[in-house]
Amino acid sequence: MEKKFRPVAVNVENLYVEIEGKTILEDINLKIYRGEIVAVVGPNGGGKTTFLKTLLGLINPTRGRVEIFRKPPKEAVKGHLVGYLPQKVNFKRESCLSALDVVLLGLWYKDLPKEEKVKRALQTMERFGVGHLAGERFSNLSGGQQQRVNLARAVVGEPKLLLLDEPTTGIDFPGQQSFYELIKALRDEKGFTVIMVTHDVGVVWRYVDKAVCINRRLHYHGEPQAVLRPEILKLVYETDVVPLFHQH
């Protein structure tokens, strides 16, 4: 669809966030259109997680405007329009939650019979290649399996916007690729909008429509091939060591 006819999913204007007197985000302006997959990159401490939390209404802007589907973030979240996969999902190691229990958490608010919830949860798990693990203890799964289960929890309620904070941390390179392929396939199928924080700059450019660099300010945004270039990453990450681009 032509961009100009596409509805705006996320609108950020002149956003400032201060925490304890420190400016974390400064004058961020950004529009994300419905159905886009956007990668957010930038150095640690650059404010990426803070940015996602602002979109979730967990952090209030000091100044500026944030709209999710033309609503204030808190309203969008209340209406279950937003799915979130936090940077760290902490279930206690000794927790006896099964993988299925974790996915069911994503449906807690739905007024559906238990059997229907289980059916939907299992369908989503199948789709993500973790259906056979439904009865396993979540804490016994590998990092990659846990992330697929967590992703299933975030999408099982069919949100319109999915926010993923470093979803492939601890996952090997082939695992990263298949994770991003899954995200892209889901977007193509369901048409939802995805914003994901990532350091996999050598991989994600194949899967995203737009890339954004955040280091307090929004530095670059646009086509991933244009943004995720070594010379730009050097500037944004303030280092000479930039990740290799995987060409295969």
Member of 7, 14, 18, 19 binding ligand ADP (CB under 6 A)? 19
Residue 195 β-bridge partners: 38, 163
Distance CA 232, CA 227 (A): 7
In terms of CB distance, is 43 or 243 closer to Mg ion? Answer: 43
Phi first, then psi: give them for residue 59, nearest 5 degrees.
-125, 135
Each residue 110-129 as x (binds ligand ADP by CB under 6 A) or -, in order, gives --------------------
What is the spatial distance between Cα 43 and Cα 25, in angstroms, rounded to a whole number? 13
**22-33: strand order across its sheet:** 22-33, 8-19, 63-68
- In the bound complex, what is the minimum distance in angstroms from residue 45's beta carbon to ligand ADP? 4
CA distance 168 to 204: 11
* 168 in contact with Mg ion (CB under 5 A): no
Decide whether 124 or 150 has the Cβ nearer to ligand ADP. 150
How far is 197 from 50, CA to CA, in rounded Å? 11
Planar angle of CA 218, 220, 225, nearest 5 degrees: 145
144 binds, options ligand ADP, Mg ion, none, Cβ within 5 to 8 A by partner type? none
Q: Phi, psi (5° rounding) for residue 52? A: -60, -40
How, if at all, do strands 193-197 and 161-165 pair? Answer: parallel
Q: Which residue is nearest to Mg ion (CB)?
A: 49
User: Given the complex with ligand ADP, which of 50 and 123 has the nearer CB atom?
Assistant: 50
50 binds, among Mg ion, ligand ADP, none (CB under 5 to 8 A by kind): ligand ADP
- Residue 167 binds to ligand ADP (criterion: CB under 6 A): no
Q: What string of DSSP letters covers 31-69? A: EEETT-EEEEE--TTSSHHHHHHHHTTSS--SEEEEEET
Of 53, 47, 50, 55, which is closest to residue 31 (Cα–Cα)? 55
Residue window 30-59: x/- pattern of binding to Mg ion, with contact defined by CB under 5 A: ------------------xx----------
Site mask for Mg ion (CB under 5 A), range 85-124, x = bound: --x-------------------------------------
| Least distance from ligand ADP to the Cβ atom of residue 102, Å | 23
At residue 236, what is the residue type? V
Contact flag: residue 61 with ligand ADP (CB under 6 A): no
Smallest distance from ligand ADP to CB 239, Å: 15
By CB under 6 A, is residue 62 in contact with ligand ADP?
A: no
Choices 17-25, 28-36, 105-113, 139-147 (CB under 6 A): range interacting with ligand ADP: 17-25
* Binding region for ligand ADP (CB under 6 A): 19-20, 24, 42, 44-50
* Binding region for Mg ion (CB under 5 A): 48-49, 87
